[in-house]
Structure 1
Amino acid sequence: MRRVLLPVLLLLLTTACAAPHPPEVTFYADGEAVDVPPFDDCDIDAENCRRDPAGEGSLRVRPGRPVQISVPGEVADTAWGVNFRYRDAAGVEQEPGRSAVFTVSDPRHAYTLTLPNPGDQLLGVEVQQLSRRIQTSTTGAFDFVARRVWVLTAES
């Protein structure tokens, strides 16, 4: 009995001490889904960052089709938002867009990204979980710095 109990105890201790995995974001489009780990992963002050070059997903997204984004509770219960790049039906890249910022007072576990016009082609999406650090932008506005960023490249 003792021989069986010791390995089980060691396994439980090892699992309990293992570093937790960073949360993944799920992107869904055209009947396919991909779970993506953070490309950038920092602490709440946007410091002590780790970058995962493999932390980028890709999905085929036809022109005019939405992308559904699902975030875990660890992200939904904080401030987060979506930035995206796209081109119009003529192939001209447009100004990047962004969603509203979702906050603790209005938690959201999902967001559907729909481009402005039916012929628009999505190029890329970033889900950003915001930190408590604020910086001044080039326009003089104040912006929160992202602590985690999940990246999706849209293939046409």
Structure 2
Amino acid sequence: MHRGLKSLLLAAPLGVAAMAGCSAPADPQVTFYSHGEAVEVAPARFCDPGGEQCSPPPADPVGELHVPERSPLQISVPGEVSATPWQVAYIYRDADGREIDGRTPVFRPDERRTYTLRVPADGTRLEHVEVQQYSAVLTADADGGVDFGISGTWVLDPR
């Protein structure tokens, strides 16, 4: 796992809300599509907006999809995700072997349900992608500002 973006998965509290005899609704899936192939990915982390009740993570929280060099990656989120602020964080390796991370702007609620990620066409390889859904939880950061918590994370490692 990549250290920076994947640290959320390691530090995420794993609270479980379950009631005997009741079936909970399925967690939202994010669809990743490239070069004629698609994969639906379950959340590696999914919590209520307050970040208190979290679904247990799947056994394998990382989706895989073949994304050829120079090919875009299309991402489609369900209404449950697009109704909240969300963004895409990614890591790619450039032609010189350097690891470069980036992120999209934060999309406002109901602004969009899809995003196409394009990496430079100079031999760059996409290595890691996360869709991150923001929660209503605010925490103070070291610089005196605030950080929003992440309530949902969907992870893809292109191959």
Same fold (TM over 0.5): yes
1:71 to 77, 86, 100: 77
CA distance in 2, matches of 1:136, 1:58: 35
Q: For the Cα contact (< 8 Å) 2:69–2:121, is it kept in 1?
A: no
The 5-angstrom pairing of residues 26-105 of structure 1 reads: 26-49=31-54, 50-94=56-100, 96-104=101-109
Larger radius of gyration: 1
1:81–1:116 distance in 2 versus 1, CA, 3 Å: same
1:125 to 115, 123, 129: 129
Q: Which sections of structure 2, spanning at least 5 residues, go unmatched? A: 1-21
Could you state the TM-score of these two structures normalised by the residue count of structure 1? 0.80
Aligned CA RMSD, in angstroms, stands at 1.7
Offset from partner CA, 1:95-152 (integer Å, 9 cap, x none): x100011112x52110001124432110010001110112244565432111010000
CA distance in 1, matches of 2:139, 2:150: 11
Q: For the Cα contact (< 8 Å) 1:78–1:107, is it kept in 2?
A: no
CA distance in 2, matches of 1:52, 1:140: 36
SS in 2 for 1:51: coil
Please state which structure has a larger fraction of its residues in helix: 1
Match for 1:110: what amino acid? Answer: T
Q: Quote the offset at 1:78 in angstroms.
A: 1.0
SS in 1 for 2:80: helix
User: Which stretches of structure 1, 4 residues or more, deviate above 4 A after TM superposition?
Assistant: 137-141
Q: Which sections of structure 1, spanning at least 5 residues, go unmatched? A: 1-16
Q: For the Cα contact (< 8 Å) 1:29–1:67, is it kept in 2?
A: yes
Q: For residue 13 of structure 1, what is the aligned residue in structure 2? A: none
Could you state the TM-score of these two structures normalised by the residue count of structure 2? 0.79
1:133–1:62 distance in 2 versus 1, CA, 3 Å: same
Match for 2:98: what amino acid? Answer: V
Q: For the Cα contact (< 8 Å) 1:82–1:128, is it kept in 2?
A: yes
Q: For residue 25 of structure 2, what is the aligned residue in structure 1? A: 20
Pairs aligned (count) = 137
CA distance in 2, matches of 1:64, 1:136: 39
CA distance in 2, matches of 1:63, 1:137: 37
